[in-house]
Structure 1
């Protein structure tokens, strides 16, 4: 199977991947609430455990919409999708360690890790839009960590808004591609 065909399958099945950032936005909002009204370990737990639920919850969103929610068994991109997903919980262990020492750095560091993981989605989906999403999350996290410490307390909220905005953009991109493919058929 050619790479372009595999990428088109991934875009079609996962509807451009919009459901992942959509679910992520909700989890980031919950982690942000926890960081304001609870101890830092609560925010860490929400983001870590919620992060492990992104793929299953995204599949539920896709199932509710109708159509497939998973790549077919044996699809060449299935392994890459799984590898992309596992980078976040492993990276979050570093953010948790950092946040245990300096709690205000947890959410900014997590944004950098989550943003970096979206770079692999450029190849998985064949969509440069994921590079913009990655850059936005990394920029907010790095700015909050190094250049504008007052952003640390709201960085999780900013990340949630960015993820929600990109969920909409990815959905619209997938819908436009589906309409193009339908009109050419």
Structure 2
């Protein structure tokens, strides 16, 4: 069992921030997938939008890594980083949760996008530990609030997909700014 001290946690988080540009490329990649899903909903319907988000989600991590590398980042963390397993574990948790969101869509199609907003938002809460950035709490909570608003207003599927896209685009921009500021200092 590895004991993590405050200093080792801070160093591990710094390694994650440097390697993945504060996670901004991954959030941007996710925002692009939400945008694609919204466009699919608009053009072909909600059921196709469900598949666009599920299938597009497969490409978020590789696209995020590509964007990080294009920005000159190593797009990896040190193998000894004790936070590495958390990154994998929260990805697996999300994958294991996807059948729940899909199952909801079979019962009520309009519940799929709010369910995904909640799942993704919950996942981002753990990113605060991964990156040491409270901005991820704000992102996760914003996605959760959007889910509840979409449900409470009985908004259509496109509203849920657009909410995910807009919120993640905003937070990607904020994270890129934070990464630039950290690199400049």
- Name the TM-score, length of structure 1 as normaliser: 0.90
Aligned to 2:159: 154
How do 1:59-98 residues align onto structure 2 when only pairs under 5 Å count? Answer: 59-98=65-104
Aligned-partner SS, 2:96? helix
Report how far residue 39 of structure 1 moved. Answer: 4.5
Alpha-carbon distance in 2 for matches of 1:120, 1:14: 15
Stretch moving more, 99-108 or 70-79: 70-79
Alpha-carbon distance in 1 for matches of 2:76, 2:177: 20
Aligned-partner SS, 2:166? helix
**Deviations, residues 96-117 of structure 1 (Å, cap 9, x unaligned):** 1001111111111111111111
Gaps spanning 5+ residues in structure 1: where?
Answer: 181-185
Report how far residue 89 of structure 1 moved. Answer: 2.4
Residues 1:153 and 1:40: Cα distance change in structure 2 (over 3 Å): closer
Report how far residue 152 of structure 1 moved. Answer: 4.6
Report how far residue 25 of structure 1 moved. Answer: 0.8
**Deviations, residues 93-145 of structure 1 (Å, cap 9, x unaligned):** 11110011111111111111111110100111111000000000010012212
Alpha-carbon distance in 2 for matches of 1:113, 1:162: 14
- Name the TM-score, length of structure 2 as normaliser: 0.90
Aligned to 1:47: 53
Aligned-partner SS, 1:150? coil
Aligned-partner SS, 1:75? coil
How do 1:110-125 residues align onto structure 2 when only pairs under 5 Å count? Answer: 110-125=116-131
Report how far residue 86 of structure 1 moved. Answer: 2.0
